[in-house]
Amino acid sequence: MTTLIRGELIKAITTRTIFAYAAMAVVLAVGQVLASLLPGWGDLMSQDDKKEALGGLPLLVLLLAIVGAAGEYRHRTAAPAALVAARDAGRLLVARAGAYAVAGAAVAALATVITLAVGLPLLADRPGPVVSAGDVALIAGGSLVAAALLAVFGVALGALVRNQVAAVTGTLIVIFVVLPLVQALSGTILDVTPFGAAQGVAGAGLTTLSTGAAAVVLVSWTLVALVAAVVGERRRDIA
């Protein structure tokens, strides 16, 4: 399994895709911080608002994993990899999920470091409750955990759909159209979706769940999606 994970990780980090997503993660993270914390761009007063401004962007890692996993079928690289895994497509998928969890956490770490470097000096000048060092550590750690779990979730979705365009388009529709409607109807329902739970783990405000409960929700969604993808892989032609 270690060899498979290493091989999948090499594939993940040697493509231009991960560098493009890493660049986008940094740009969007800095943009979020500046839009939230620059004087005159917002009136942040509550501690939750400040934490949310420092929170990461784990949903971008989700898209990275979807593109990478679905791309295995588009570029016909899934079948040769399955031969290396002794034709165990399920085992290979788990290895791929582990590799993207590492890659996703690395992208999130880069974005988080830059976010904190830009955001903490600005945050010191904002009025309202102070965000402690412990809070910052929880936000940073939560962003990495959320990114790793969403990367696994994305690999599972990519394997289930197998079509990059359909998977990414569907995910974007859910994020930008469905989720705002759900939030308008009920913040409670949004919290128990994998997307809402991930944002909560990464530092965004939650309506009803604690950060720990959001992590449990996210882990549960991730495991269900991964099991479904593994079962699906073992039942159909890998090519």
The pLDDT assigned to 151 comes to: 94
Residue listed under structure tokens 């999920």:
97
| Cα 215-94-146 angle, rounded to 5 deg | 25
The pLDDT assigned to 81 comes to: 54
The pLDDT assigned to 226 comes to: 94
The pLDDT assigned to 76 comes to: 61
Going from the first residue of the chain to its last (239 residues), give the mean pLDDT of each consecutive group of 10, the final group possibly shorter.
Answer: 75 81 85 72 63 75 89 64 58 89 91 87 75 84 92 93 89 88 80 87 77 91 94 71
The pLDDT assigned to 53 comes to: 74
Is the Cα torsion angle 5, 7, 13, 17 positive or negative in sign? Answer: negative
The pLDDT assigned to 146 comes to: 92
Domain range summary for the chain, segments of one domain joined by +: 2-235
The pLDDT assigned to 216 comes to: 94
The pLDDT assigned to 82 comes to: 53
Reported pTM = 0.84
To 10 degrees, what angle do helices 47-54 and 133-161 make?
50
